[in-house]
Chains A and B, each alone.
Chain A
């Protein structure tokens, strides 16, 4: 697996220096500082810091606000993942049938990936707008319920989930299309010959065959929803109403930059770090599985 053709004492180091410098200065050093910060109490102006051990963590664990943010993170990530992965599987299933015009359909399905979650959030914010939005307008014919996301937490949560899932769709569809096209046609033909209808075929054959991709996409969508979704929350709800959409990343930002509570934000960083390490390990266990699967 290794090729060692070229010999030079200094050149390999010169080649890796840019990458390694960026990782050390902007990844490892700050990550270690976060770890350190989590064990200290720092005054808001950063001039005094006292070692407090695990005090910051203890405070978080006993803080109902923190629990609320953990819960809304999981609701948010779970909602986004279910919506975006299931929707993508159905759409990719349709877009790999033997019909004309597939190229056009596929293009029309992929592009939402290009939209920044924050921009998607702003578009959906208008669609959900209590006074001018098209959705509350049409819903008002069906029910008298007030779908005002400024007042109702679950409506705000639905808003950010739908907007984020919309931007994830293209990504998931690209993976599912690649996976579905890799299923040998003989398998599907055999099922057809045995008299399995399209829905039966999908449930009994396609779904198990793409399950490694599904697992991978579930992990990846969770990671994205947890760690890359600051934008949609900040642009649309700012964590509100109340704290209904205050996901962990947003709380970290708020406590750190606005509350200037450096110790607590350090501890929150460390908890998030543990989560992302767990999810990455899961993701790479999939990578191994995929190798043996083939």
Chain B
């Protein structure tokens, strides 16, 4: 086997040497093709968003004109202002922000605490708690739809921020992530802290928390997007205009009957406002976003 291996390798080396020099001078067709393919694919992926933006800057006549106009027009400000007024956009964006931030912060906080307890304490029922948290992965909203609604009603939390946020705060993935991270921290650190007279809460606050910022940032980005983009939950929990989040409020702008004006420019303006916060967070915090996605799913 080794003899064959050597001759193959040698032959390959000869071939590599023979082709290496001219290849370096040749025009890099390969990377041009890759660039071209990437640009073509990205054009397809970006087009829906570009088109939505373009439509959001047009007046009604341009929206319905044939052939469709694919260039931005000059009605951006008036469309966004009108969409804002027509749908109490300010209030909806505020509700979405409250929901996204509260769910993200709440999930991170209670997951840190329970992961800390599970890793650093030995207590009766520890394994049981761990499995309970794990099983929440198997109980998405649809499988407990009607009965969760009933529970929220019993608590008097329908149409409140508590109902909108607290029931979503359990998080198996965040708990696993923190647990995994705590287990990479050398045990000596906790022992040293203990020798210095620091209690468990002091250790959590002054040692673990500062070490966890990278994980917290990564989780925050992913969970903010999760919270902002919820649909079924706010639809079920809220029933007044004041509590509606932007993702569910948008649907009500769509003209369904033929008698309404096809104000797609206003709907697209609303859609742009609804999608801008989470998309901006991905673009500006891309590093944390990728870390959060890839690591929290382990």
Contact = CB atoms under 8 A, between A and B. Distances in A.
A245 to B, nearest CB: 15
B216 interface: no
A294 interface: no
A161 to B, nearest CB: 14
Contacts of A19: 110-111, 113-114, 129, 133, 170-171, 175
A146 interface: no
Interface band, chain B: 35 or more
B98 interface: no
A292 interface: no
A34 B119 contact: no
A111 B282 contact: yes
B209 interface: no
B120 A4 contact: yes
Contact of A235 (B51, B250, B281): B250
Given A33-B150, A111-B279, A170-B282, A5 B190 contact: yes
B190 to A, nearest CB: 4
Interface string A75-116: 000000000000000110011011111000111111111111
Interface in A234-260: 234-235, 249, 252-253, 256-257
B45 A108 contact: yes
Interface stretch (B71-79, B84-92, B285-293): B285-293
A66 interface: no
A286 to B, nearest CB: 11
Interface string B137-148: 111111111111
Contact of B139 (A119, A124, A273): A273
Interface residues of A, number: 100
A12 interface: yes
Nearest to B32: A99
A37 B45 CA distance: 44
B151 A116 contact: no
A156 interface: no
Contact of A266 (B146, B231, B250): B146
Interface string A250-287: 00110011000010011001101100110010000001
Contacts of A13: 117, 123
Contact of B231 (A1, A118, A169, A257): A118
Contact of A116 (B132, B145, B229): B229
A272 B146 CA distance: 13
A131 B68 CA distance: 11
A266 B55 CA distance: 43
B240 interface: no
B209 to A, nearest CB: 14
B67 interface: yes
B293 A174 contact: yes
A256 to B, nearest CB: 5
A169 B146 contact: no
Contacts of B138: 273, 276-277, 280
Given A116-B247, A230-B231, A266-B146, A105 B42 contact: yes
B241 interface: no
B297 interface: yes
Contact of A28 (B126, B132, B235, B298): B132
**Among B64, B171, B175, B231, which residue has the most Cβ atoms of chain A within 10 A?**
B231
Interface in B157-207: 166-167, 169-171, 175, 183, 187, 190-191, 194, 199-201, 203
A273 B138 CA distance: 7
Given A2-B122, A18-B113, A26 B187 contact: no
Interface string B96-121: 00000000000001110110111111
B34 interface: yes
List the 3 shortest-distance A-B pairs measured between CB atoms, nearest first. A231-B231, A33-B147, A116-B229
30 contacts: A4-B121, A11-B201, A12-B123, A15-B114, A15-B121, A19-B110, A20-B132, A23-B133, A24-B132, A26-B166, A27-B139, A28-B132, A28-B135, A29-B147, A31-B144, A33-B147, A94-B34, A95-B38, A105-B42, A111-B282, A114-B282, A116-B274, A126-B55, A174-B294, A194-B8, A231-B247, A235-B254, A252-B142, A253-B145, A266-B147
Interface of A: 1-8, 11-13, 15-16, 18-20, 22-31, 33-34, 37, 90-91, 94-95, 97-101, 105-120, 122-127, 129, 131-132, 134, 137, 166, 169-171, 174-175, 177-178, 193-195, 198, 220, 227-228, 230-231, 234-235, 249, 252-253, 256-257, 262, 265-266, 269-270, 272-273, 276-277, 280, 287
